[in-house]
């Protein structure tokens, strides 16, 4: 009887595992089915490198380059802001802070992760936007920079918690060994602890970026949504995610526009897939 129970539980867990993979594959095929239909009428080249996104024009223009660059610039901005801050925070929590501050900060970071993105968008719109506008004397505060700042805010909890995990799981013996050789605390951190935690640190950055690329609500509220080729980070841009979210409801099912949005989703899927893959590879990277 017990044997049977074990058997059953094992199989159920196995089934669940396969179900996850199955769902990913199903989603991919669902996206691919409609997304690839687009290429019956539009060449992949025009889709990927076309500089005009105007799907309601006649004939429809579905070049995603401005959207791709919009996502890229917002993501890069958020990465540049969040990685150094997150890393500093993780090192502080993992290595420097006394115990009670550590617990406080960890709780704070978790709370930050729990803020819904719409709330961050809301705060960004009412507070961050005007600040950016006045600081740089812009016609509008809704720019790529504003979006980057808000997204950095959202990526930081992911980055901090994964990096801090990596840093805290560096064996104590490394730290003692280094200090016993007369290295200072700081030398120990940057010559032993960070290298020893490097795979976790890279993974944290990757997952942070993954979070940023996929984010929709806050960017839609904060970036101004102008589908033009961005030249600086102080202009309104439109990201791929915001485009899909804004236009999916209004499009006619089966139209070229409809398929273009699916193809856009496919592009996004492929990008995040590879980022997660890279993060995974970094986490499981073995020392030579």
CB of 59 to other proteins, least distance (A): 59
Round to the nearest angstrom and report the end-to-end CA distance of the chain: 47
CA 171 to chain centre: 29
CB of 21 to other proteins, least distance (A): 33
| Interior angle at CA 165, CA 159 and CA 168, nearest 5 | 130
285 binds other proteins (CB under 8 A): no
187 binds other proteins (CB under 8 A): yes
Task: Give Cα separations from 2 to 12, 15, 212, 216 (angstroms).
Answer: 15, 20, 47, 48
192 binds other proteins (CB under 8 A): yes
CB of 198 to other proteins, least distance (A): 9
Cα–Cα distance for residue pair 162/272, rounded to 1 Å = 18
Residue range at the interface with other proteins (CB under 8 A); choices 39-47, 179-187, 259-267, 274-282 = 179-187
Q: What share of the chain is helix, strand, coil (3-state, %, to 5)?
A: 75, 0, 20
Q: Looking at beta carbons only, is 10 or 176 nearer to other proteins?
A: 176
3-state secondary structure of 54: strand
Q: Looking at beta carbons only, is 104 or 181 nearer to other proteins?
A: 181
CB 92 within 8 A of CB 105: yes
Applying CB under 8 A, which of residues 114, 173, 249, 250 lies at the interface with other proteins?
173
Q: Looking at beta carbons only, is 6 or 176 nearer to other proteins?
A: 176
182 binds other proteins (CB under 8 A): yes
Q: 54 pairs with which residues across the strands? A: 61
Tokens representing 87?
A: 């890393």
196 binds other proteins (CB under 8 A): yes
Residue range at the interface with other proteins (CB under 8 A); choices 119-127, 172-180, 253-261, 268-276 = 172-180
Residue range at the interface with other proteins (CB under 8 A); choices 48-56, 87-95, 177-185, 277-285 = 177-185
- Which of 185, 204, 197, 244 lies closest to 220, judged by CA? 244
Q: Looking at beta carbons only, is 76 or 179 nearer to other proteins?
A: 179
Residue range at the interface with other proteins (CB under 8 A); choices 26-34, 51-59, 186-194, 259-267 = 186-194
Applying CB under 8 A, which of residues 143, 178, 227, 243 lies at the interface with other proteins?
178
Which residues ranging from 88 to 147 are in contact with other proteins (CB under 8 A)? Answer: 99
CB of 109 to other proteins, least distance (A): 23
16 binds other proteins (CB under 8 A): no
Cα–Cα distance for residue pair 260/124, rounded to 1 Å = 30
CB 242 within 8 A of CB 225: yes
Cα–Cα distance for residue pair 61/212, rounded to 1 Å = 27
3-state secondary structure of 123: helix
Applying CB under 8 A, which of residues 7, 177, 232, 274 lies at the interface with other proteins?
177
Give me the residues that bind other proteins (CB under 8 A), please.
99, 171, 173-174, 176-184, 187, 191-192, 195-196, 287-288
């Amino acid at each position: 009887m017990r044997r049977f129970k074990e058997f059953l539980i094992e199989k159920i867990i196995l089934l669940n595992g396969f179900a996850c993979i199955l769902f990913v594959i199903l989603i991919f095929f669902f996206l691919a089915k409609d997304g690839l239909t687009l290429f019956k009428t539009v060449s992949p080249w025009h889709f990927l490198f076309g500089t005009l996104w105007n799907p309601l024009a006649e004939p429809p223009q579905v070049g995603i380059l401005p959207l791709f660059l919009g996502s890229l610039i917002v993501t890069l901005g958020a990465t540049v802001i969040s990685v150094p801050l997150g890393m500093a925070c993780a090192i502080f929590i993992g290595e420097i802070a006394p115990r009670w501050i550590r617990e406080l900060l960890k709780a704070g970071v978790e709370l930050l992760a729990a803020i819904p993105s719409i709330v961050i968008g809301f705060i960004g719109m009412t507070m961050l936007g005007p600040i950016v506008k006045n600081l740089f004397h812009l016609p509008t505060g809704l720019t790529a920079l504003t979006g980057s700042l808000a997204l950095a805010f959202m990526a930081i909890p992911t980055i901090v918690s994964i990096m801090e995990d990596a840093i805290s799981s560096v064996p104590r013996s490394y730290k003692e060994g280094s200090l016993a050789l007369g290295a200072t605390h700081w030398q120990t951190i940057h010559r032993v602890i960070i290298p020893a935690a490097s795979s976790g640190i890279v993974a944290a950055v990757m997952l942070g970026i993954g979070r940023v690329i996929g984010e929709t609500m806050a960017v839609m509220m904060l970036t101004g949504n102008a589908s033009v080729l961005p030249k600086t980070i102080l202009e309104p841009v439109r990201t791929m995610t915001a485009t899909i979210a804004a236009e999916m409801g209004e499009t006619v099912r089966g139209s070229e526009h409809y398929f273009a949005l699916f193809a856009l989703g496919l592009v996004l899927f492929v990008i995040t897939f590879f980022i997660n893959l890279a993060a995974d590879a970094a986490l499981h990277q073995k020392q030579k």
